[in-house]
Structure 1
C-alpha cells in the first residue's frame, strides 16, 4: 500500500509521520516550496510542527501529480478549502480511496466532508478519519484511538491499512455521524474556551460541554445519523479532548475571546466557520441549537460575551 497526504499542516504532517515511522512509503504534498525543502532536508515542518523530528522516510513534494499516484490519499486540507481543491483536481483523484481528515461544515454549501467527496469525486471510495488526536501527540509517537468511517465493503481492509503503531482505528459505517462529531465539537470548544477565558469556572465549562453534546446528537438525528455514533471517539472522545486543552486551536480562540484578547488571525480555527454554517443549517431546518447559534453570533461580533451568557442563562427552564 502507498499513502499520500494532501496538506502539510500540523495534523497532515503528524499523520504522515505516524505512517513513515512504521516504515511505510509516504508522500506529503505542500503548496509551499519552503515547507517541502524543510521536510526533505531538515526532516522538520518548521512552519507548522516546529521541534518535531520527522522520519527520513517521509518525502514531501509540491507536485500534485506525484502525490496523487498513491492509492490511498488522506485529505488534510482546511475544511473551507476542501471543496475547491476537489473541484479543481477531480481528474487526478479519479478512482482513488479518499480519506477526509477535515473537521467542519463548508460555509458556502452547508455540506460536510462526505457530501463534498461524493459530489466532486463520485467514483472514489470515500472515508472519514476523525476523533481525538492532537498533532504533536501523534507526531511525537504518543498513542491515541480514532474513528474511521467508511460504508464501502473494503472498509475492514482500509482500517487495517491506515492503523499505525500509535493510531488505533475503530470502524463505523456512519460517515455522517462521524463527521458531525468532528465538526460540532469545535463549536463547543470555542464556547468552553470563552467560559474559562472569562473566568466563569470549571462548572460552567462542564455544563457547556454537556449541553453542547446534546446539540450534537440533536442535529445528528435530524440529518439521519445514528446518535450513538457521537458517544464514541468521533464525538464524545474528541469533544473531551478539544474542550479541555489549550492545544486545541478552537479552545484557544474561545479563550482569547473570553479574556478580551484578539485571536491570532493566522491560525485556522475551523469552529468559527462551522458555527456559522451550522447556525444557518439549523435555522433552515427548524432545529433548536442555542449554543451553536450563540457561538456564531459571538464570532461575528453581533453580541458580546456578557450578552451571550445572559441569553443562554435566561432560556426557559425545561426537562433535561
Structure 2
C-alpha cells in the first residue's frame, strides 16, 4: 500500500495542525473545509488565520471545498471534523473505500450513542481493519508549532505498524494500541471532566478539588469504557489519563475555558460564544447522560455537568451536591 499523499477532512485548528504535522512525511497533503475564506487563506497565504493565526503552513499543503475531490486524492484519510457532523460528512462519499481512514475527532454520537469508528464503518463502504483512531494529549497549536507530542493510534496492529512508521515525525510520536474502544472513550469523556475542573477553578475551589475531580473523573472514564467493551488499562495511557490531565489543566483547553467561564457566573450560551470554537464536552455530556440511564451506571461528575449546562443548576449548588453524596468505599 502506497502512502505518499494525505487527505484531511476538516480545516479547523485540529485538522490544520495535523496537516502541518504530517506534511513532513507526505509528498502532498490535501485539506477539505466548508469555509471558502479559510480554504483560500490556506492556498494563497499558507496560513489559517481564523484558527491558527501566525503559523506558516508548508507549501505542500493545499485546500479545497470539494469533499469528494479531497477524499479521493489521499492514500490515507484523516477525519478532523466535529463529532456530531462526522456521519453527515461521510454520507457524501461515494463508492467503496479501500484505504485507511483515521478518526482524529473526539466524542460519542448523541443520537445513536455510537463511537466514531462505528459511525465510519456504517457511513462508508470500508473494511473494519482499515479504520483507525488517533487520540491523546495534543493541543492543536502546539502540534502545529512542532512542539513534542505523543499520542495513541488505535486499530489493526499489522496495518497500524505501517501507518505508525509513515506518520511518526521528529516531534509527533504515535504509540500503537489495539483497544480502539477504550481509546475513543478516553478522548470523549475527558472533555466533560475538563468542564468540571474548569468550573471548579472558576469557583476558586483550589488545587485539592481539581486533583479530586481529575482522579474521580478518570474512574468515570474507565466505567464508561468497560460498558462499551474497552480495557480499563487503556484509560491509564496517553488517550486516557494523559489527555485528561492536559485538557483539565491546560490553558489552551476549550473545555476547561468553557468550564472556567461558567464557574465565574457567565451564562452557558455566552461562555460558548466567548470560547469561539466547538466545545465537544458540551455535546458529549448529553451522550453520557443517556449512557448512564441506558447502561445503569453512576456517573456523578458527568451528571452534575449535564445539570449545570442543560438544566440551569448553579455551579455552587453543584459542588454541594457532589460533596454531600452518600459516603462510599473508593473503587478503583
**TM-score bin (small chain):** over 0.9
- Between the aligned partners of 1:21 and 1:54, the Cα distance in structure 2 is 11
Is 1:263 matched up with 2:268?
no
* Aligned 8 A contact 1:65 1:92 in 2: no
Matches within 5 A, 1:1-320: 1=3, 2-22=5-25, 24-68=27-71, 69-89=73-93, 91=94, 94-124=97-127, 125-151=130-156, 153-261=158-266, 262-265=270-273, 266-320=276-330
Count of residue correspondences: 319
SS of the equivalent of 2:214 reads helix
Task: Give 1:318 shift.
Answer: 1.2
Quick check: 1:18–1:165 contact (8 Å CA) kept in 2? no
- Per-residue deviation, 1:96: 2.7
* Structure 1 residue 23 displacement after superposition: 5.7
1:72-94 alpha-carbon deviations (Å, 9 max, x no partner): 100000001011112232x1562
Which 5+ residue runs of structure 2 have no aligned equivalent?
none
Q: Distance in 1 between matches of 2:161 and 2:77?
A: 17
Q: Any idea what the Cα deviations from partners look like across 1:29-64, whole Å, max 9, x if unmatched?
A: 111121111011111001111111111121111222
Asked whether the equivalents of residues 291 and 312 of structure 1 are also in contact (C-alpha less than 8 Å), the reply is: yes
SS of 2:158's equivalent in the other structure is coil
In 1, are the aligned partners of 2:95 and 2:125 still within 8 Å (CA)? no
CA distances 1:189-240 after superposition (whole Å, capped 9, x unpaired)? 0000000011111110110000000011111111110010110000010001
CA deviation string 1:127-163 (max 9, x = no partner): 0000011111010011110000012631111111222
The whole-number CA distance in structure 2 between the counterparts of 1:303 and 1:138 is: 36
Q: Which runs of 4+ in 1 moved over 6 A?
A: none
Q: Secondary structure at the match of 1:117?
A: helix
Change (3 A) 1:28 1:214: same
TM-score by length of 1: 0.96
Q: Relative to structure 2, which stretch is displaced further, 301-310 or 220-229?
A: 301-310
Rounded Cα–Cα distance in structure 1 between residues aligned with 2:277 and 2:57: 22
* Alpha-carbon offset, residue 248 of structure 1: 0.5
Distance in 1 (alpha carbons) for counterparts of 2:75 and 2:117: 18
Q: Once superposed, what is the RMSD of the aligned Cα atoms?
A: 1.4
Q: Is the 8 A contact 2:203 2:316 kept in 1?
A: no
Maintained 8 Å contact 2:25/2:166: no
Structure-1 separation of matches of 2:92 and 2:63: 21
When residues 5 and 134 of structure 1 are mapped into structure 2, their CA distance, relative to the original with a 3 A threshold, is same
- Structure 1 window deviating more from structure 2 (271-280 vs 23-32): it is 23-32
Give the 3-state SS of the residue equivalent to 1:28 in structure 2: strand
Preserved contact between residue 186 and residue 271 of structure 1 (Cα < 8 Å): yes
- Cα distance in 1 for residues equivalent to 2:272 and 2:327: 37
**Alpha-carbon displacement from aligned partner over 1:238-289 (angstroms, at most 9, x marks no partner):** 0010011120100000000001123133421000110111111111110111
Q: Is the 8 A contact 1:189 1:250 kept in 2?
A: yes
Tell me, which stretches of 5 or more residues in structure 1 are unaligned? none
Residue 43 of structure 1 contacts residue 56 of structure 1 at CA under 8 Å; is this kept in 2? yes
